[in-house]
């Protein structure tokens, strides 16, 4: 019981520390929120044209641009998680953590938790701005959207953990995170509906972003609910779990990581 309490205490210490770091560098949050919002503003007119062409007579474009940018920028949590781990090496605090009573799983949970919360906040803000500023109409319930947000963040966090374990430098994780976001997001239909890409549909199905986007749009256009999206929830959970599994199998506290560019 005491060791459980100590463990929870250390995890909460990591959470607090990560949030303090985020608060000390608020620019990061503004960037990850402002960029998708700006992209929504830029892409909405084009999305409007595409949706009208597809027969959505009442669409205003936000039905494509908002969920598109949500899934595209959800991937930024991979690089944020990478930074949370790799900067410890840059600041020489990693050795301190290793010489502390903290167990590896406590460090992982302690670092992933706040990034997960940050990711949820990011997605929520983009949805909020989409609904209020871009007049996005959602046929289904916001609860389904919120649950999808939770599973999407989980999936990208799992991929992030795998990248943390597999990459050696912060540059690697940054490039993979950013390029991954663009490629997977693009293939998944973040910029334009997936059925306009010939032959890319099968490739897109390997990406959690595709499934998340499809589910978001099923809620927006068709009013699908929680039960209708159970398969997507499970799939996103599976993507995240697979990422965490790879991460946990390959993660070594003693690995040398380069935290500077």
Partner 1 sequence: MLEIKGLKKSYDNHEVLKGVDLTVAPGEIVGLIGVNGAGKTTLTSIVAGLRTADEGEVTICGVDALKDPHASHTHLGLASQDVGLYPILTGWQNLDFFGRLVALRSQSRKRRIEEVADSLGLTDFLDKRVETLSGGQRRRLHAAVAMLHRPSVLLLDEPTVGADIQSRQKLLLEVRRFAAEGSAVVYATHYFPEVETLGGSVAILHEGRIVARGDCNSIISRYAAPSVELAFEGEVPTDLREFAKLKDQGSEDGQSLGRVVIPVRHPGKDLAGIIIDLGVEASRLRSVEFHQPSLETAFLRITRLENTGLAEEEFDAVT
Q: Summarize as ranges the residues that interact with partner 1 (CB under 8 A).
A: 6, 9-10, 12-13, 16-17, 20-21, 24-25, 91-103, 254
Q: Which residues pair with 258 in a beta bridge?
A: 169
What are the DSSP calls for 66-127, one per residue? HHHHHHHHHTHHHHHHHHHHHHHHHTTHHHHHHTSS--HHHHHHHHHHHHHHHHHHHHHHHH
Supply the minimum distance, in Å, between the C-beta of residue 179 and partner 1.
27
Which of 17/172 has CB closer to partner 1? 17
Supply the minimum distance, in Å, between the C-beta of residue 158 and partner 1.
25
Supply the minimum distance, in Å, between the C-beta of residue 10 and partner 1.
6
In Å, how far are 83, 147, 256 from 180, measured between CA atoms? Answer: 16, 23, 24
Q: Which residues contact 18 (CB under 8 A, 6 or more apart)?
A: 84, 110, 111, 113, 114, 115
Tell me which H or E stretch contains 226: none
Tell me which H or E stretch contains 167: none
Which of 91/128 has CB closer to partner 1? 91
Supply the minimum distance, in Å, between the C-beta of residue 88 and partner 1.
9
Which of 55/252 has CB closer to partner 1? 252
Give the tokens for residue 92. Answer: 């020489």
Which of 20/54 has CB closer to partner 1? 20
Supply the minimum distance, in Å, between the C-beta of residue 31 and partner 1.
16
Supply the minimum distance, in Å, between the C-beta of residue 11 and partner 1.
10
Neighbours of 199 (CB within 10 A): 6
Q: State the Cα–Cα distance between residues 56 and 242, nearest whole angstrom.
A: 36
Which of 96/135 has CB closer to partner 1? 96
Q: Which residues pair with 169 in a beta bridge?
A: 258
Which of 23/199 has CB closer to partner 1? 23
Which of 24/202 has CB closer to partner 1? 24
Q: State the Cα–Cα distance between residues 81 and 244, nearest whole angstrom.
A: 12
Supply the minimum distance, in Å, between the C-beta of residue 117 and partner 1.
18
């Amino acid at each position: 019981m005491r060791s459980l309490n100590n463990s929870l205490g250390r995890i909460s210490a990591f959470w607090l520390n990560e949030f303090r770091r985020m608060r000390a560098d608020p620019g990061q949050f503004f960037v990850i929120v402002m960029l998708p919002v700006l992209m929504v503003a830029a892409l909405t007119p084009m999305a409007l044209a595409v949706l009208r062409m597809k027969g959505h007579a009442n669409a205003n474009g936000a039905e494509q641009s908002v969920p598109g940018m949500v899934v595209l920028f959800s991937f930024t949590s991979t690089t944020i998680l990478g930074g949370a781990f790799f900067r410890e090496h840059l600041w020489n605090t990693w050795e301190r953590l290793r010489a502390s009573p903290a167990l590896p799983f406590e460090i992982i949970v302690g670092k992933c938790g706040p990034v997960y919360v940050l990711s949820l906040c990011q997605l929520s803000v983009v949805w909020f701005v989409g609904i209020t500023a871009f007049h996005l109409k959602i046929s289904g319930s916001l609860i389904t959207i919120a649950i999808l947000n939770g599973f999407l963040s989980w999936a990208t966090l799992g991929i992030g953990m795998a990248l943390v374990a597999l990459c050696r430098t912060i540059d690697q994780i940054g490039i993979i995170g950013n390029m991954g976001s663009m490629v997977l997001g693009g293939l998944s239909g973040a910029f334009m509906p997936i059925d306009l890409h010939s032959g890319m549909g099968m490739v897109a199905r390997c990406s959690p972003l595709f499934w998340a986007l499809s589910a978001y749009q099923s809620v927006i256009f068709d009013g699908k609910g929680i039960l209708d999206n159970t398969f997507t929830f499970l799939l996103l959970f599976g993507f995240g779990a697979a990422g965490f599994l790879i991460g946990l199998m390959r993660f070594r506290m003693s690995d040398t990581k380069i935290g500077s560019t």
